[in-house]
């Protein structure tokens, strides 16, 4: 793999632009990407996510209730765990994506609590050229989210559509260049 992937693209003489995401050709089956920095989950994150998605289960929003469960403290809403871990993967894996095609086999093997720090890694598990969209390909990654002690808290497969080199969306703002995003 080219060490400059997902770093910067030259857009002019002595001018570079951050370049997020990979093109179809840059995905190699078996490659694993560690996504950093980590993200520490706060109580506010958990409460807001629970309210946003209307999941008012008391184990997520009522500390007095949660003290009487087997966990003895608030559980982080699993949709928040998915959101954070998935978001951590975007800069490298899908910032160039045309469409997210789905999540499969989502598993939550261990709980997440307020104060835990999440880290993510993605392994490229399959890719193929699109049969109906020339210049694009379909990539599937396996994502593992872990807590600070390396305990896995979420695993899933994610599939998305990405452009091939030369078919990326043009970045709308720049110094008069037509550099690809």
- pLDDT the model gives residue 143: 98
- pLDDT the model gives residue 179: 52
3-state SS class at 116: coil
Q: Where are the alpha helices (DSSP H) in the chain?
A: 43-52, 58-61, 63-66, 78-89
- CA 106/CA 122 separation, integer angstroms: 14
- pLDDT the model gives residue 166: 82
Query: In this predicted model, what pLDDT tens digit does every residue of 97-155 receive, in sequence order?
Result: 999 999 999 999 999 999 999 999 999 999 999 999 999 999 999 999 999 999 999 99
* Class of the domain covering 8-163: alpha beta
The dihedrals phi and psi of 125, each to the nearest 5 degrees, come to: -110, -25
pLDDT level of residue 8 (50, 70, 90 thresholds): confident
Query: In this predicted model, what pLDDT tens digit does every residue of 69-81 receive, in sequence order?
Result: 999 999 999 999 9
**pTM score:** 0.86
The answer to whether 158 and 121 have CB atoms below 8 angstroms apart is no
Query: In this predicted model, what pLDDT tens digit does every residue of 14-39 receive, in sequence order?
Result: 888 777 888 899 999 999 999 999 99
Domain ranges of the chain: 8-163
Exposure string (b/e) for 60-79, b if CB count within 10 Å is 16 or more? bbeeeebeeeeeeebbbbbe
3-state SS class at 149: coil
Query: In this predicted model, what pLDDT tens digit does every residue of 44-57 receive, in sequence order?
Result: 999 999 999 999 89
- pLDDT the model gives residue 1: 42
The answer, yes or no, to whether residue 83 has pLDDT greater than 70, is yes
List the structure tokens of 137. Answer: 């390909």
Would you tell me the crossing angle of helices 43-52 and 78-89 to the nearest 10 degrees?
100
The answer, yes or no, to whether residue 170 has pLDDT greater than 80, is no
User: Of 128, 43, 35, which is closest to residue 86 (Cα–Cα)?
Assistant: 35
The answer, yes or no, to whether residue 3 has pLDDT greater than 50, is no
The answer to whether 119 and 145 have CB atoms below 8 angstroms apart is yes
């Amino acid at each position: 793999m080219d060490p400059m992937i997902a770093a910067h693209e030259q857009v002019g003489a002595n001018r570079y632009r951050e370049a997020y995401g990979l093109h179809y050709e840059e995905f190699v089956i078996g490659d694993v990407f560690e996504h950093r920095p980590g993200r520490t989950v706060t109580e506010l994150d958990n409460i807001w996510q629970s309210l946003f998605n209307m999941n008012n289960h008391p184990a997520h929003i009522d500390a007095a209730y949660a003290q009487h469960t087997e966990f003895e403290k608030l559980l982080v809403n699993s949709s928040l765990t998915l959101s954070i871990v998935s978001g951590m993967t975007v800069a490298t894996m899908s910032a160039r994506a045309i469409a997210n095609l789905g999540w499969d086999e989502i598993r939550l093997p261990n709980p997440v609590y307020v104060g835990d720090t999440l880290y993510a890694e993605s392994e490229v598990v399959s890719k193929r050229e699109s049969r109906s969209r020339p210049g694009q390909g379909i990539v599937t990654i396996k994502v593992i989210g872990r807590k600070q002690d390396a305990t896995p808290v979420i695993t899933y497969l994610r599939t998305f559509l990405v452009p091939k080199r030369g078919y990326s969306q043009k970045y709308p703002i720049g110094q008069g260049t037509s550099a690809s995003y």
